[in-house]
A and B are shown apart, each in its own frame.
Chain A
Amino acid sequence: GEDVEQSLFLSVREGDSSVINCTYTDSSSTYLYWYKQEPGAGLQLLTYIFSNMDMKQDQRLTVLLNKKDKHLSLRIADTQTGDSAIYFCAEKDYGQNFVFGPGTRLSVLP
């Protein structure tokens, strides 16, 4: 079946860039998403990318997609303590099926 994988933990220093990686198996993915979850809250959409794009930039966020390798990354520039959260990668196929990764817990050290 479809699978999405992420590393579980990432620590960075405040002001550095963070790069969160994700791999997926479904070659029919149409859109890929990044969600953020803060403690005690639901998931908040950060950004998404259409599968025929290879990059999308939105302020401090840069998404890179390598469709051949089925690899997605999220780069957060100038990481702040407020960026500490769990980040989920997700993919959607041609239907309405979303598959989420296990989430990467980002810790930002002062």
Chain B
Amino acid sequence: KAGVTQTPRYLIKTRGQQVTLSCSPISGHRSVSWYQQTPGQGLQFLFEYFSETQRNKGNFPGRFSGRQFSNSRSEMNVSTLELGDSALYLCASTTGQVLSGANVLTFGAGSRLTVL
């Protein structure tokens, strides 16, 4: 079974630009979560989508947004990029069924964004 696929793996942008990252979850998984990982802040939760609806949201500004499509693939967008947005963006999928056991998060390899 294919894992979680994130594209692109690496990208470089300049301040003020916007970026879209893509995540294809494991087949059958309906929940996709996004995390930002930086050396200083660690792993921070951005948001979670389940069945095309945002179900949970972290504490990030409105420049960070996401969506999920009917095939469970998800995209996240960051507008008006700042230097501090340079990070590894990780996507993870689960079945999304609450109260259904361990419901392990399976992560993709990440998209490394550098903002110059």
Interface residues of A (CB under 8 A from B): 31, 33, 35, 40-45, 48, 50, 88, 90, 92, 94-103
Indicate if the CB atoms of A96 and B55 lie closer than 8 Å: yes
A48 and B116 alpha carbons, distance in the complex (Å):
39
Which secondary structure dominates where chain B touches chain A?
strand
A92 and B92 alpha carbons, distance in the complex (Å):
14
Q: Mark B81-102, 1 if CB is under 8 A from A, else 0.
A: 0000000001010101011011
Which secondary structure dominates where chain A touches chain B?
strand
Q: What size tier do the contact residues of chain B reach?
A: 20 to 34
Contact A42 B33, CB 8 Å, known A95-B98, A96-B94, A100-B43: no
In the complex, which residues of chain A have a beta carbon less than 8 angstroms from the beta carbon of B55?
96
In the complex, which residues of chain A have a beta carbon less than 8 angstroms from the beta carbon of B106?
45
Interface: B2 (CB within 8 A): no
Specify which of A88, A90, A96 is in contact with B56 (CB 8 Å cutoff): A96
Q: Which residue of chain B has the shortest Cβ distance to A33 in the bound complex?
A: B104
